Amino acid sequence: MEKLAFIIRVILFKVILSPFVKIILGIKFRYEEKPSFDKPKIIVANHSSHVDAIAILCSLSVRDLKKVHPVVARDYFYKNSITKLFAKTCLNSVSVSRDRQFDNPLHQCEKLIERGHSLIIFPEGTRGNASEMKEFKKGVSILLKKYPQLEFVPAFCEGFGQILPKGQWLVLPSNSSLRVGKSKSIDRGLDINDITNYIRKSILELRL
């Protein structure tokens, strides 16, 4: 089943969606460096549209599609068997609870990191406006603080809110881009708030 899910994911993102987002939607991909996921990392990006996660997954190599997991909201993507199947099989996602349903909502993320896998996290926690990011949740900072070997990769999604605005399903081409920065580590002496501010600053520095 796991092998079949991987094949489905490769076909979806490398054969179907990658040409679609580049040619039809016109999304441009720019890299300060092409990240390597031989070691676990967290891709951290602003969030204004479902296109954000799709574009980031399209930017990955075939090999990385096996070990990079978007972190999704359990109450949204796991609300019924159809969306849950899509989230787990096609997106290779891991879910977190936004309503404090579990004592440690990051438990599944921690298990993946300890297995050498990587994550995609949108610290705003919900889709917002790329020109004015919402306040960041602390989950990424907690993980970076807990795992000394972990680096983060800042990414900035520009114009994706115009392609697929929140609450709408009409997809429109737009002048948009995904900009991926260099992998960064944090000073483990920083507190959680300082780490969060550093992550936010690293993302904003990618904005043109």
Query: What are the pLDDT digits (tens) for 42-62?
Result: 999 998 778 899 999 999 999
Tokens of 106: 């990051």
Query: What pLDDT does 84 receive?
Result: 85
pLDDT digits (tens, 9 = 90+) for 5-27: 999 999 999 999 999 999 888 89
DSSP 40-60: -EEEEE--SSTHHHHHHHHTS
Question: Which residue has tokens 């199947």?
Answer: 85
Query: What pLDDT does 74 receive?
Result: 78
Total domains, the chain: 1
Residue 187, classed as helix, strand or coil, is coil
- % of the chain at pLDDT higher than 70: 89
Identify how many contiguous H helices and E strands the chain contains and give both numbers: 9, 7
Q: Greater confidence, 1 or 82?
A: 82
Q: Greater confidence, 173 or 117?
A: 117
- β-bridge partners, 184: 152
Tokens of 152: 């983060």
Q: How far apart are CA 146 and CA 134, in angstroms?
A: 24
CATH of the domain at 178: 3.40.1130.10
Give residue 7's domain range. Answer: 2-204
pLDDT digits (tens, 9 = 90+) for 113-168: 999 999 999 998 776 665 677 889 999 999 999 998 899 999 999 888 777 656 55
- % of the chain at pLDDT higher than 90: 57
Query: What pLDDT does 172 receive?
Result: 61
- Residue 64 neighbours by CB under 8 Å, 6+ apart: 37, 118
Cα dihedral 88/179/47/190 (nearest 10) = 100
116: left (phi over 0), alpha (psi -120 to 50) or beta: left
Query: What pLDDT does 99 receive?
Result: 62
Q: Is the pLDDT of residue 81 over 90?
A: no
